[in-house]
Structure 1
Amino acid sequence: MPYQSTNQLPDSVKNVLPKHGQEIYQEAFNSAWDTYKNPEDRIGDDDRESVAHKVAWSAVKSSYTKSDQGNWVKRH
């Protein structure tokens, strides 16, 4: 279930990430959704959606970090 817009992202993403972070998440999720559609392409027993969410969070974490206050901020 790829996301057509950032408005469709889960609240756990929309409510914590800035707009640019949401865009990274959406793009990475959609790409992983396509890449890992076949179970044999996945490591472990995770389903397609779980893998796509993990990939998306990993992509976000390459550009953003959580501040001491708990906010997601762009890495320098």
Structure 2
Amino acid sequence: MPYEKNTELPEGVQDVLPPHAQTIYREAYNSAFDEYSSPKDRRGDDSREEVAHKVAWSAVKQSYSKGDDDKWHKD
């Protein structure tokens, strides 16, 4: 399901991403959730939610990198 606010994101996302990265994640997730609503639009057996989470992480990785502290930092 789409997320309206960053506070609705999974705890695992909130715990490691700074606020701006959470916004990137949320917006990418919501967009992918809509775009890949039909199983024919997805590759493999991934669910709509799994695809949306993969897209969201990919979007975050464009501007952030995981540090030695397991948290994500702006490049």
Q: Normalization by structure 1: what TM-score?
A: 0.95
Structure 1 residue 49 displacement after superposition: 0.4
Aligned residues: CA RMSD: 0.7
Question: Which residue number in structure 1 is paired with residue 43 of structure 2?
Answer: 43
Question: Which residue number in structure 2 is paired with residue 58 of structure 1?
Answer: 58
What amino acid is the match of 1:57? Answer: W
Structure 1 residue 71 displacement after superposition: 2.2
Question: Which residue number in structure 1 is paired with residue 12 of structure 2?
Answer: 12
Identity within the alignment, %: 60
Question: Which residue number in structure 1 is paired with residue 31 of structure 2?
Answer: 31
Structure 1 residue 67 displacement after superposition: 1.5
**Where do 4+ consecutive residues of structure 1 move more than 6 Å?**
none
What amino acid is the match of 1:5? Answer: K
Structure 1 residue 28 displacement after superposition: 0.2
Query: Unpaired segments of 5 or more residues in structure 2?
Result: none
Indicate if the aligned counterparts of 2:16 and 2:70 stay in contact, CA closer than 8 A: no
